[in-house]
Amino acid sequence: MKRLLALGISIGVLAGILTWVGFSLPEAGTTAAVLVVWVGFAAWAMFYAAGGGTGGLGKTVASTLSGVVWGWLIIQAATAAMSGNAAVLGLAVAIGAFGMCVQAAWKPLAFIPGAFVGAACFFGTGASGAAVLASVVSLVVGALLAFASEKGADVIEPLLGKKAAPTPVAHRHA
């Protein structure tokens, strides 16, 4: 329970800061936003799903950013070949999904869920050139905050277990 409390405190504080900063930026809530809060939270979840630590950080950043690239490639291919044809988009997505799975043969990109989350974040932020920047910045910031939240919990957890030293009682002399 101490670990969960420590994580709750650390994540809560940093999540609050991410939200505050993200919604304080001039373009917050628009397609021109560079820091998209929900994308940061998606990366945060991927960090913990990938096992945390430096390994989880590496898996999260590499896989989610590869997903952004796949999402961009899907849109480029579909746009080049498409004239309002949903089947062409479906084919482009099928090829991209295949690629996100097959790339997992290369260890740095072996976290398949991260690739799909990265692509989803790209699509969810507008699937445009601006969406590439917003997705990349937000995914990296989210992953770094997740790493920081884990390190923060490492510091907080021992503090939760310390008991206060008993107050000495003065001896009464008769």
Q: What is the model's pLDDT at position 169?
A: 57
The Cα–Cα gap between 139 and 66 comes to 11
The answer to the question of residue 150 being in a domain is yes
pTM above 0.85, yes or no: yes
Please list, in sequence order, all residues whose beta carbon lies within 8 angstroms of the beta carbon of residue 74, skipping any fewer than 6 positions away. 89, 92, 93, 95, 96, 119
Number of folded domains that form the chain? 1
Q: What is the model's pLDDT at position 173?
A: 53
The answer to the question of residue 118 being in a domain is yes
The answer to the question of residue 53 being in a domain is yes
The answer to the question of residue 111 being in a domain is yes
The answer to the question of residue 22 being in a domain is no
The answer to the question of residue 170 being in a domain is no
The answer to the question of residue 19 being in a domain is no
- Provide the CA 130 distance to its chain's centre, in angstroms: 18
* Residue range of the domain that includes 100: 36-154
The answer to the question of residue 13 being in a domain is no
Q: pLDDT in tens for each of the 174 residues of the chain?
A: 899 999 999 999 999 999 999 988 878 777 667 999 999 999 999 999 999 999 999 999 999 999 999 999 999 998 888 666 888 889 999 999 999 999 999 999 999 999 999 999 999 999 898 899 999 999 999 999 999 999 999 999 999 987 655 555 555 555
